[in-house]
Structure 1
Amino acid sequence: MKEFFVLLKDGNKPSLLAAIINTVIAILKGVAFFFTGNVAMFAEMLHSFGDAANQLFVYIGSALSKKAPTKRFPNGFGRLVNLVLLFAVIIVGILAYEAIIEGWHHVIHPTESEGLWIIVGVFSLAAILEFSVLYKAGKEVLHETNTEGTGFAPIIKSFSVLSKAKPATKLVFMEDLVATSGNILALIAVFIAHYTGFLAAEGYASIIIGILMFYVVGRIFLDNARGVLGETDEQMTQHIARLVMEHEAIQDIKMLSVVKEGEFLHVEVMAEVDSTLSFAEVDDIRDHLVDLILHQPNVQDVHVSFDEDDGVMTWDTAKQNATDFKKNHPEMK
């Protein structure tokens, strides 16, 4: 149990913050729904409870994934965060379905909500709080991808580099983007229903919110299904190939594998060197490459082996693309 609490200190902080804030928001929405009967409020209450549960699972999963390898699990627990996220999206999927069903019932049998300014106040406060979490998650995305930016950059720039962020941070960003949008959409629907008499607007808003939640479910499911299977990180493969080929003693790369497990990367390299090099020289080259690769972002372990140069270039793309890759990816040092 002591180890569990120690690991929690290294959990994904944006997901913990998001879980706390979404719990508070969900309770506020639940109270508002009790007094007003607003169906859009009901959908957003489900959304917030789903996000809170999701993000709590993400926080715990991201922490446990950092547990050191054991004799029983020698490859470590990196993929645990992917498994947790796959479980978490099931919860969101169920709540998304409920939001759509409830919205459809309201479209067919529209009823007028009470307490307009209670609804407006709760949705406005929720939108502000959700946006603050979204901004924090955006800053974390920029930090994890070595992207600079101030002002609104954590929101604007995050979209272009989101695929490079850690799974937990990516989920928090996407969920709170949808949550912020959902609060604004629900607020608009409330005003339309109140001032035009088109009461079904709240039901349609609930349906759209549910569809947006399903979109997050789909994106997160696909991303983490690949992670559970052990996905090759193509960008880091090119980057590490460049680092290896830049060493003057390396003639070619016979095999290079960069597999992503959760937040971590496992690297295996077989390089070709001149057969005239001594064992001591080859050992020094290995130590240098291992140290160099371990200092790259999210690399957890490295295995480097060698074979004698056969005179045939099998990894020519590494040298051909090295200059262009370095120019197009300045964040990779």
Structure 2
Amino acid sequence: MKELFRLLKQGSMSSLWASIINAVVAITKGVVFFITGNVAMFAELMHSIGDTVNQAFVYIGSALSNKPPTDRFPEGFARLVNLVLLGAVLIVGVLAYETIKKGINRIIAPPESNEWLWLNVSVLGIAMILEGFVWFKSMKEITADLGGEDIKGFNIISESFKNVGKANPATKLVFLEDAVATSGAFIAIIAIFIGAYTPFQSAEGYASVVIGLMLFLVVGRIFLDNAAGALGAADQDMVKKVGEYVYEEPKVKDIRKLAVMQEGNELHAELKIELESDMTIAEADQIHDNIEKKILDEKRITDVIIEFDDHDDTQHWDESKNETKNSEKGSGDGQSKQ
């Protein structure tokens, strides 16, 4: 039990807060929908339930993924967060389907009155503010993860949009889901006003369909990102950055192999570097330590394996593109260090 609490403390705090706030919002929306029967509110209720479930799964998965390796699982549990989320998307997919179905029914049979107009609008307005707060919090985490502690004000918004693709999976999920949640609440409010003050009384139904489709987009993005993480996708941006770190060492002749693989919220780097065969062990050891320190200074990279080999007079690494020209052909017989 102590280990479980220790692991939970290491979970994604942005996901935990997002889950708590969305749970409160979902309960409030559920009560109002039960009172008013407003279909736009139902769509937002489904959205909030989906966000609560997803972000709770992210928090638990991110916490358990910090469990140290065991004899049975020597590679550790980093990919557990991806596997957990692949299950969570099924729940959100069902909620998206129900949202679209309810919206279509309301388009066919629009409401005759909007007696609970201001109650619906007030609750959705509060929800939009709360979800916008969580969204902004995820923006700050994205900029902080990139070393942008000095980014403030509206620059946080612009920089987070530019760099959301580089965020860790948990923060990226919170960003995407609350972006859709905030905009979905705004769409629902507009639809309620349109239905109340114009002859277009089916506006709530169309809003519900739009929100359901937005949920499906979130499902698709979550699935693709976490399938990549579960399979161990390469992080090409980080590969280029690590390649630059390696070639900052003047005695490095070539990079035979370089891979930076995503596992859950973590990145793992593996390199095979070619040096001159007459280099001393002390010189190779210093190069190893210099490169390892630079790589591990990257926040998301948790471990690195570096091997050395003789220079084989064939250039494997294209410095202009920061990528290997061809796959590894052999390991050679030179000195190595891990």
- TM norm. shorter chain > 0.5: yes
Aligned to 1:98: 98
State the distance in 2 between where 1:79 and 1:121 align.
41
Deviation at 1:159, TM superposition (A): 1.6
Aligned to 1:43: 43
State the distance in 1 between where 2:219 and 2:155 align.
26
Give CA-to-partner distance per residue, 1:64-105, whole Å, 9 cap, x none.
112222222121111111112212221111101000000101
2:12 aligned with 1:12: yes
Task: Provide the secondary structure at the position in 2 that maps to 1:241.
Answer: helix
The answer to whether the 8 A contact 1:35-1:114 is kept is no
Out of 260, 263, 288, which is 1:261 matched to?
263
The answer to whether the 8 A contact 1:138-1:173 is kept is yes
Residue 87 of structure 1 aligns to which amino acid in structure 2? G
Structure 1 residues 155 and 90: CA distance shift in structure 2, 3 A: farther
TM-score by length of 1: 0.92
Give CA-to-partner distance per residue, 1:190-216, whole Å, 9 cap, x none.
111111142211111111000011011
TM-score by length of 2: 0.91
Q: Structure 1 regions of 5+ residues with no counterpart?
A: 323-333
Deviation at 1:321, TM superposition (A): 5.3
State the distance in 2 between where 1:151 and 1:292 align.
30
Q: State, as a whole percentage, how many aligned pairs show the same letter.
A: 52
State the distance in 2 between where 1:191 and 1:138 align.
30
Deviation at 1:109, TM superposition (A): 1.1
State the distance in 2 between where 1:154 and 1:134 align.
11
State the distance in 1 between where 2:124 and 2:305 align.
52
Give CA-to-partner distance per residue, 1:224-282, whole Å, 9 cap, x none.
11111111111111111111121122111111111111111111111111111223332
State the distance in 1 between where 2:184 and 2:153 align.
23
The answer to whether the 8 A contact 1:19-1:56 is kept is yes
Task: Provide the secondary structure at the position in 2 that maps to 1:231.
Answer: coil
2:239 aligned with 1:217: no
State the distance in 2 between where 1:39 and 1:296 align.
47
Residue 128 of structure 2 aligns to which amino acid in structure 1? A
Give the number of the structure whose residues are more often helix, by fraction. 1
The answer to whether the 8 A contact 1:123-1:187 is kept is yes
The answer to whether the 8 A contact 1:37-1:114 is kept is no
Stretches (4+) displaced over 3 A: none
2:294 aligned with 1:292: yes
Q: How many residues were matched structurally?
A: 320
2:121 aligned with 1:120: yes
State the distance in 1 between where 2:307 and 2:236 align.
21
Aligned to 1:277: 279
2:316 aligned with 1:314: yes
